[in-house]
Amino acid sequence: MPVITTEDGNGSGGEQRVNQPEDLELMIAVQQGEVGKMGTLFERHHARIYNFCHRMTGSQAASEDLVQEAFMRALKYRQTFRGDADFLPWLYRLARNVCNDYFEKNQRFPITGEDLPEGVSPDPSALDNAQQKEQVCLLREALLRLPVERREVLILSRFEYRHYDEIAQLLGCSVGAVKVRVHRAMNQLRETYRELLKESES
C-alpha cells in the first residue's frame, strides 16, 4: 500500500502572513512617492520571483532580466496596486505577465533541457547514480514541454508552496478551477514524462 505523504506545502506562507502588513505599508509608501522603499520589497521577494521565472523559462539569464522587468513594472504601475489586496499576488501577476510577454516575444517555446546552462544542471554528487540524473533531466524537460498555463499552475502549486485559495487569488479564478487545472497539468506531465522515458530507453 502506497503511503501518501502530505506536506503543509506552505512553509514560507506562514512567515509571509506575518510579513504581509509590512509589505502593504511599504507598497503604500512607494505609491505615495517613497519609491526607494521598493528596494526593501525587492530584497524580500526577488528570490521568489526569480525562482518562479526560472522554473517558467528554464533560463537563468532570461530570468534575471524578467525579475528586473517585473520589479520595474511594479514601480511604473505602482498606482494600480490596490491597498486592500496583498502585495505578493500582485507581484506574481506582474511576473506572470512579464513571462508571457517573454514567451510571445521569443516565439519559440521555453528552452528545453539541452539549453539549460551548466550552472543549473543537477549536481551529480547529490544524485545516487547516472540513471537518477537522467530521470531528473527528463522530468525537467517534461515540465518545460507543458503549455504555459499548465506549467504555471504546476509550478505555483508544487514549488511556490501555496494553497489552492492563494493560487486562485493569484490567477483570478475559483478554487475549483485551480483544482481542475492542477489535476490536468499533473496528468499531462505524467504522460509527457512517460514518453520521454520511453524515448531515452529506446
Partner 1 sequence: MNCEKADKLLMDSLMGALGAEERRDLDEHLASCERCGEEAAEMETLWHELGRLDDSRSEVPSDRLTRRFRLALADFETNLHETSRPRFSEWWAGLWTARPAWQAAFSAAVLVMGVLLGAGLNSRQSLNEELDELRAEIETMSRAVTVSLLKHQSASERLRAVSWSRMSGGDDKVLAALLDSARSDPNVNVRLAAVDALAGYADQGSVRASLMDNLELEKSPLVQLAVLEAVAGDEGLRNGELQRLKEASEVDQTLLDYYAAQAESL
Interface with partner 1, residue 38, by CB under 8 A: yes
Alpha-carbon dihedral sign for residues 129, 135, 139, 142 = positive
The C-alpha atoms of residue 149 and residue 99 are separated, in whole angstroms, by 11
Query: Helix, strand or coil for residue 45?
Result: helix
Angle at 184 between CA 182 and CA 188, to 5 degrees: 115
Which of 13-21, 29-37, 82-90, 95-103 is the region at the interface with partner 1 (rule: CB under 8 A)?
29-37
Choose which of 115, 183, 195, 200 interacts with partner 1 (CB under 8 A). Answer: 183
Spatial contact of 94 and 73, defined as CB atoms under 8 Å apart: yes
The C-alpha atoms of residue 49 and residue 73 are separated, in whole angstroms, by 13
Interface with partner 1, residue 64, by CB under 8 A: yes
Least distance (Å) between residue 135 CB and partner 1 = 7
List contacts with partner 1 (CB under 8 A).
1-2, 4-10, 33, 35-36, 38-39, 42-43, 46-47, 50-51, 54, 63-64, 67-68, 71-72, 75, 119-120, 122-123, 126-127, 135-136, 139-140, 143, 154, 157-159, 163-164, 179, 182-183, 186, 189-190, 193
